[in-house]
Amino acid sequence: MTESAILYDSSKCSACKGCQVQCKQWNMLPSSMVKDGYESTGSYQSMADLNGDTRLLIEFREKDTPAGVEWAFSRRACFHCTEPACMDVCPVGAISRLDDGTVKLDSSKCVGCKYCTAACPFSVPKYRENFGVSNKCTLCDDRVAKGIEPACVKTCPAAAIFYGPRTEMLTKGKARVAELKVAGFNKAELYGETQMGGMHSLFVAKFGFEAHGLIRDPKKPDIVTLMSIIKPLTGLGIAAIVGGLGISFLSSIGYTRDGLTEELETADEAAKEEK
């Protein structure tokens, strides 16, 4: 099966948040119904980060430069990595990679241990308090299975989000970056080609990775790698100790305190006796 990907073009995005709201509607994720009980970030951004009820967030970053203000919009959601750190640490195998590259977190299997949140270099999976499970963008695998595009792609009025075969999305993204450079946006670059083994959610960063809050060289946290070493090491250690104690047991069979054979005196004992 060919691998698919989403392509987000921050240079076409109007930050209308249609995708953010549509994702919630399609996945039946609630917003608070407490009057005036919403978070305020001091900017157009709706909330500080993704949460258990929000799988897609439009972020706003602004930087003043002599050439004008760089108002960088970002579509923050799961990047669907080819080498997902979350999948490595899930103790119940609730996270798997589908043939098309989607990294699927099956909430019906999730036990809410939050190891995935800790392992993700982007802290994307979030815990849903009332449900006791974690969740994240599913790349609308339910829609894709029926042959329709993800909800955010369908709803975007600025034609800034696309979905299709990954090779096509890569070509499209690179072409757009080239166009942007010609237009004078010389920091434009494409995110997701090789990061984390290659991502299935690509991002045309109009002002460069850092301006959009993207980690330039993301890696699985060292601790995840260390944990994967500790487990087999512990197994080895237990085997060694049990083996050693087994030998000790065998050597102790038939032991009686009075029947000890002639003992070789150690130097210390000889010295002690002399005192």
Partner 1 sequence: MKDGPLTEHYEPFESPAKNLINGGQSTPNLTFGSAKSVKPSDPKKYPIVCTTYRMTEHWQTGGMTRNIPWLAEAMPKMFVEMSLELAKEKGIANGDQVRVFNDRGDIEMMAMVTPRFKPFTIDGKTVHQVGMPWHWGYASGYATGAIANDLTPNVGDANSSIPEYKAYLVNVEKA
Partner 2 sequence: MTRYIQRHSLLKRWIHGIHMVATLVLIASGAVVFIPVVGRAVGSDVVQMVRIAHRVFAVVFIGGPLVGLIVAPKGFVHIMKNLFAKWDDDDKLFMKKFPRYMFAPKTTHMPPQHEVKSGQRLSDGLLLFAAALIAVTGVVLWAGQFVSPEVFRVALLLHDVAFALVVLIMCAHIYLGAGIFQPYRGLARLMLGNGRVTEEEARYHWGHWADEELASGKNVIEE
Chain residues in the site for partner 1 (CB under 8 A)? 14-18, 20-21, 24-25, 30-40, 42-44, 46-47, 62-64, 69, 71
Contact of residue 232 among partner 1, partner 2, none (CB under 5-8 Å per partner type): none
> Cα–Cα distance between 175 and 258 in angstroms, integer?
89
- DSSP tally for the chain: helices H, then strands E: 8, 10
Running DSSP on this structure, what letter comes out for residue 211? G
Contact of residue 36 among partner 2, partner 1, none (CB under 5-8 Å per partner type): partner 1
Cβ closest to partner 2, residue 183 vs residue 242: 242
Instruction: Give Cα 73 to chain centroid, integer Å.
Output: 21
Say whether residue 48 binds partner 2 (CB under 8 A): no
Say whether residue 231 binds partner 2 (CB under 8 A): yes
Site for partner 2 in 129-148 (CB under 8 A): 129
Which residues lie closer than 8 Å to 160 by C-beta, 6 or more apart? 8, 9, 10, 12, 13, 14
Among residues 124, 146, 136, which one has the least CA distance to residue 215?
124
Identified binder of partner 2 from the candidate list 108, 130, 273, 274, rule CB under 8 A: 108
Question: 202, 190 in Cβ contact below 8 A?
Answer: yes
Identified binder of partner 2 from the candidate list 248, 270, 273, 274, rule CB under 8 A: 248
> Cα–Cα distance between 54 and 77 in angstroms, integer?
9
Interface ranges with partner 2 (CB under 8 A): 91-94, 108-111, 113-115, 117-120, 123, 127, 129, 221, 223-224, 226-227, 230-231, 233-234, 237-238, 241-242, 244-245, 247-249, 251-255, 257, 259-264, 266, 268-269, 272
